[in-house]
Amino acid sequence: MPPIDYQMTGRWLIAGWLAALALFRGAPGVDLAITGLFWHGPEVGFSPLADRWLWEFLRQRLWDMSILVFLVSPFALWRALSRNRPVLDLPARVWGFVFTLYLLGPLLLVNGFLKAQSGRARPANVTDFGGDHLFTPAGQFADQCRANCSFVSGEVAAAVVLGICLWLALGLWRTRLARWIVNYGRVIAVFIPAFIIVQRVGTGRHFASDAVFATLFMLTLAWALHAIFAGRLGAWLVRRGR
């Protein structure tokens, strides 16, 4: 696993969580204000981003890519372990990290629990934007949606994980690739979740807080799993126990 500074990244994650909670819980109207930027009235609806074939094509292909990486990861993990050598120049612990991150993050935490239990209606379904359901502040469970609800965004979560996996792979491939390719690839790794966030918020499918908290959940989970698969968690626990 490529090394990271756990203390520094941990502080940034805490700062991100505190800022997001202060903003979206302290001023719930921010969600409505941001969504309102893309709302053009009942006759037009939301931004025409949803009607542009290129935006929708890219969105669907990124979703397909996330599914593909998730499905490939357990087989790559099995092959790396059984042959005791990397697959695509990625060792077994990296494939284990990728599989576990997808499984625990987008699949179980986001789609299996939060989206199934939050009850938060999507922006296009609330009364403020032509729907018939009530707006629910971020992080507050409600009864305005029965299934596949707004909080948090499943596609943003998957896009963040895809970006993390690409960034991680580039860190391991950097000695074999030209620097410009690595830098270009990292730009793409950041672009992937940024594009999905704009598309989902701009089309009224998610509030800004859905995207922000999905990102924070995935980054925090990736931070913890990186420590586990890099073997750093056990060492940290031993030092703390002394």
Residue 242 neighbours by CB distance under 10 Å: 4
Which residue intervals of the chain are DSSP H helices? 6-26, 29-36, 53-83, 92-102, 115-117, 154-173, 179-202, 208-229, 232-241
Give the 3-state secondary structure of residue 90. strand
pLDDT at 163: 97
Q: Quote the tokens at residue 41.
A: 């009235």
pLDDT score at 167: 96
Q: Which residues of the chain have pLDDT under 50?
A: 234, 236-238, 240-242
What pLDDT does 51 receive?
Answer: 59
Question: Tens of pLDDT along 112-127?
Answer: 999 999 999 999 999 9
Q: How far is CA 140 from CA 1, 10, 117, 143, 186, in A?
A: 36, 25, 10, 10, 35
Tokens 């979740």 map to which residue? 193
CA distance 146 to 119: 6
Q: What is the pLDDT of residue 46?
A: 81
Quote the CA–CA distance of 165 and 102 in Å, as a whole number: 10
pLDDT (0 to 100) of residue 64: 96
